Amino acid sequence: MTLSVDLFFSFRSPYSYLALPRTLKLVEEYDLAVNLRPVYPLAVRVPGFFKKASPQFARYIVLDSRRVAEHEGIPFRFPRPDPIVQDMKTLEVGADQPYIHRLTRLGAMAQSEGRALPFVAAIARVMWDGSVAGWNEGDHLARAAETAGFDLSAMDAAIRTDADRYEEIIVENEKDHAASGHWGVPTFVFEKEPFFGQDRIDLLLWRMQGKGLARR
């Protein structure tokens, strides 16, 4: 019997990106469906979040995510440009957020087709693996989407034409994410039990094996 797990994911979260290789491996090796559900980053979901957090919060994430990537052998560099428009000196988040709105709506569209995991994995690699600067320019995203079986120009047209439809998907994702028992990303939810962080995948696997998860 195929088991199912939700994965709440943000395109700005380094740990969400770092969770993807293990997640893809789980799907490859086990009879498992991962329902990736994109949400907006805390900077957008919770206005003023970074201004209320300790100044050490962001510095630690930068330090820790880089060493996690090094330890796991995952190509890694913070995206250029940042998918959130934010002044990192004042921590002020811009009112206009063209990058993260586009990315998250594209993810929601892929989710509506039941194919969010391969789409997001392809797009996130271009943003985070350090292979390109200006991930938002040229055909970087289009070529990445094509490798996952998507036509990016058609997707962009769809989210422009019916943005509200995809915002509704994101709102529902955020509602279910909040109800899961955690607010951070990545959060996996299996049978209403949350597992927060890329470092909880082994614990998640243990739980699912106890519920009959089988190898392919």
- Which domain does 163 fall in, by range? 3-210
The CATH number of the domain holding residue 163 is 3.40.30.10
Residue 149 falls inside a structural domain: yes
pTM value > 0.85 = yes
pLDDT value for 37:
98
pLDDT value for 51:
74
pLDDT value for 27:
98
Low-confidence ranges of the chain (pLDDT < 50): none
Residue 7 falls inside a structural domain: yes
Give the span between the Cα atoms of 213 and 34, in whole angstroms: 13
Residue 215 falls inside a structural domain: no
pLDDT value for 204:
98
Residue 216 falls inside a structural domain: no
pLDDT value for 26:
98
pLDDT value for 131:
95
pLDDT 10s digits, 166-178:
999 999 999 999 9
Residue 133 falls inside a structural domain: yes
pLDDT value for 74:
98
Task: Please give the tally of structural domains in the chain.
Answer: 1
pLDDT value for 16:
98
Residue 36 falls inside a structural domain: yes
Residue 97 falls inside a structural domain: yes
pLDDT value for 52:
79
Dig out the tokens for 114 from the structure. 């039941």
pLDDT value for 95:
84
